[in-house]
């Protein structure tokens, strides 16, 4: 066992003494040491209950003859960080999380680990660390929040972001806004739609790193506690069999995960996180692979924000195993999972508890919600290295659009123009210098996109950025434009009034100016001064790579 490096032999007497100082017995010294990597804290709704899940995981480890050691990672709530400078810290936190887990596990020589993350950058950070360390690993994601009920309708955090624009436009009253504020987010769990956190939970299960059913089991459901206990029990088996994270995450399982993501219509942020995760497993995942898989994968369930269903509906219909069953003919069914079995073997144990909900909520391959999957990759003179859009959340009339550029150098500038009602039908908002280096930190743009929706412009105004969009964004919102403005990409050269061409079915994003004019502007362009000059973000700005390759620190 790897932990023998800190507990076996004459020369390890000092180490054993320190371990006994935390309460270990001689009998426990011969058992596997399991790290319990917990992202519990008291400010993120998706994490406030993870202390309880950790207790369940540790109980399972002890039941199966292991010794658990819990430690914590940091975590950022994207919703709370949204719309101000705090969001610059969200994506960079992913790298800190992965690094901190690596340091703790390597220093203490754990034989395996059970990871307990929930939200947007925390789950990817944990998955990246798992690939880097390559020890037996199981991930227990914390589960979705239940939707809140306001005026007899289910609501979530996106209801609030869009309500800001609706209130500004006089469509709702102060009282209606207050009711939404008080009741939409009703307790523990990641926000109730298929936003980034829940997308990544489903992707984790699809990769094979969580037990079946984990991705959609809700935070308040006792099912989640049972999954946590079983995960603690199962990790000992993985240690004994030598089944490590890299045994599970392969090119085939990455393709499976992307296909599940396309079928459920997940967040565009997976196109940022999965390439970064793949890199830690010694694999390469080009951005165009998302487009290739999307084109041959039907969209089967219409969840928020593109549809009106919530994660609770997906859970009732059978969750990720139900989608795997639908897509059986399109998946690599022989890929290994943390059960110790492959997907095909797992599905033999799968029972549809609610067959009517399964049929009503999840479409068939013959009659899908959309013929293609959730994400499209657009390439062209404005995005030579690619950009991404959640195409299943775009209305039919905006699948093709040309309009004048309205250029803003930051999210704040764009938001001020939106709230001042300076944006008109047909406009193409360009928000630049918000990429990995330019932000720095590649902020999500939920505030402007939600305000546009709340003002009734979601079917007539496009937003284009080298930053990101929240998993809760809907409408013609194109992010991850690469190369970014801070690196002199074409988005830095756009001028007010330039015509931008968007063709989502054709995979095109063009700036409609001549090559000669573009070259002339490029020669005149000068890189801006760094926005930060001290602290972690300054180091991140110098080291981070492009969005189309996962925005990893190189």
Locate 106 and state its tokens: 């390597």
DSSP 325-338: HHTGGGS-TT-B-T
Q: Decide: helix, strand or coil at residue 107.
A: helix
Question: By the 8 A CB rule, do 98 and 125 touch?
Answer: yes
Task: Determine how many CB atoms are found less than 10 A away from the CB of residue 311.
Answer: 31
**CA atoms of 71 and 51, how far apart (whole Å):** 11
**CA atoms of 8 and 314, how far apart (whole Å):** 48
**CA atoms of 362 and 521, how far apart (whole Å):** 49
Q: Which of 58, 60, 59, 39 is nearest to 48 (CA)?
A: 39
534: Cβ contacts below 8 Å, ≥ 6 apart: none
Positive/negative CA dihedral, 297, 294, 476, 403:
negative
DSSP 167-205: HHTTSS-HHHHHHHHHHSB-SSSB-SSSSHHHHHHHHHH
3-state secondary structure 335-402: CECCCCCEHHHHHHCCCCCCHHHHHHHCCCCCCCCECCCCEEEEEECCEEEEEEEEHHHCCHHHCEEE
Locate 294 and state its tokens: 């999307």
Locate 438 and state its tokens: 């330019």
Question: By the 8 A CB rule, do 410 and 443 touch?
Answer: no
Q: Decide: helix, strand or coil at residue 34.
A: strand
**CA atoms of 249 and 278, how far apart (whole Å):** 8
470 is catalytic: yes
Q: What is the CA radius of gyration of the chain?
A: 23
Catalytic residue among 159, 190, 253, 470: 470
Q: How far apart, in Å, are the Cα atoms of 2 and each of 6, 32, 65, 105, 232?
A: 8, 9, 16, 11, 18
Q: Decide: helix, strand or coil at residue 462.
A: strand
Query: How deeply is 152 buried, as exposed, middle or buried, from its count of CB atoms within 10 A (0-12, 13-18, 19+)?
Result: exposed
Question: By the 8 A CB rule, do 22 and 51 touch?
Answer: no
Kindly list the catalytic residues: 470
């Amino acid at each position: 066992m790897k932990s023998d490096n800190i507990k076996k032999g004459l020369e390890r007497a000092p180490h054993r003494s320190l371990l006994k100082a935390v309460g270990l017995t001689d009998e426990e010294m011969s058992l596997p040491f399991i790290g319990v990597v917990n992202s519990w804290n008291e400010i993120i709704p998706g994490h406030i209950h993870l202390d309880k899940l950790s207790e369940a995981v540790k109980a399972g480890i002890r039941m199966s003859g292991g010794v658990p050691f819990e430690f914590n990672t940091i975590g950022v709530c994207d919703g709370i960080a949204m719309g101000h400078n705090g969001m610059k810290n969200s994506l960079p936190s992913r790298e800190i999380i992965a690094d901190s887990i690596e340091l703790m596990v390597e220093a203490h020589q754990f034989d395996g680990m059970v990871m307990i993350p929930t939200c947007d950058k925390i789950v990817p950070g944990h998955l990246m660390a798992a690939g880097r360390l390559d020890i037996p690993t199981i991930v227990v994601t914390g589960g979705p929040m239940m939707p809140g009920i306001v005026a007899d309708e289910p609501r979530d955090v996106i209801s609030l972001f869009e309500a800001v624009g609706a209130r500004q436009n006089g469509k709702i009253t102060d009282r209606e806004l207050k009711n939404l504020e008080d009741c939409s987010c009703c307790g523990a769990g990641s926000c109730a739609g298929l936003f980034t956190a829940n997308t990544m939970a489903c992707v984790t299960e699809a990769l094979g790193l969580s037990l079946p059913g984990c991705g959609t089991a809700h935070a308040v459901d006792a099912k989640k506690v049972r999954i946590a206990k079983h995960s603690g029990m199962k990790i000992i088996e993985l240690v004994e069999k030598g089944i490590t994270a890299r045994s599970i995450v392969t090119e085939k399982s990455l393709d499976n995960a992307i296909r599940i993501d396309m079928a459920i219509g997940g967040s565009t942020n997976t196109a940022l996180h999965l390439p970064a995760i793949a890199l830690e497993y010694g694999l390469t995942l080009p951005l165009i692979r998302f487009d290739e898989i999307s084109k041959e994968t039907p969209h089967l369930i219409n969840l928020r924000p593109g549809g009106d269903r919530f994660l609770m509906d997906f859970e009732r219909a059978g969750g990720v195993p139900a989608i795997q069953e639908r897509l059986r003919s399109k998946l690599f069914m022989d890929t290994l999972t943390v059960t110790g079995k492959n997907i095909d073997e797992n599905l033999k144990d799968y029972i549809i508890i609610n067959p009517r909900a399964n049929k009503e909520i999840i479409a068939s391959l013959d009659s899908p919600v959309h013929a293609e999957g959730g994400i499209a990759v657009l390439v062209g003179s404005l995005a030579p290295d690619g950009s991404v859009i959640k195409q299943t959340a775009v209305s039919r009339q905006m699948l093709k659009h040309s309009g004048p550029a309205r250029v803003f150098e930051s999210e704040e500038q764009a938001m001020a123009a939106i709230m001042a009602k300076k944006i008109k039908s047909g406009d193409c908002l360009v928000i630049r210098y918000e990429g990995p280096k330019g932000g720095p930190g590649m902020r999500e743009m939920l505030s402007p996109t939600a305000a546009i929706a709340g003002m009734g412009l979601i079917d007539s105004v496009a937003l284009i950025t080298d930053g990101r969009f929240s998993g809760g964004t809907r409408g013609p919102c194109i992010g991850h434009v690469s190369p970014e403005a801070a690196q002199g990409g074409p988005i830095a050269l756009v001028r007010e009034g330039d015509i931008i061409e968007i063709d989502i079915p054709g995979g095109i994003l063009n700036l409609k100016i001549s090559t000669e004019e573009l070259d002339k502007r490029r020669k005149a362009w000068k890189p801006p001064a760094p926005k930060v000059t001290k602290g972690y973000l300054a180091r991140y700005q110098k080291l981070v790579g492009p969005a189309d390759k996962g925005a990893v620190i190189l």
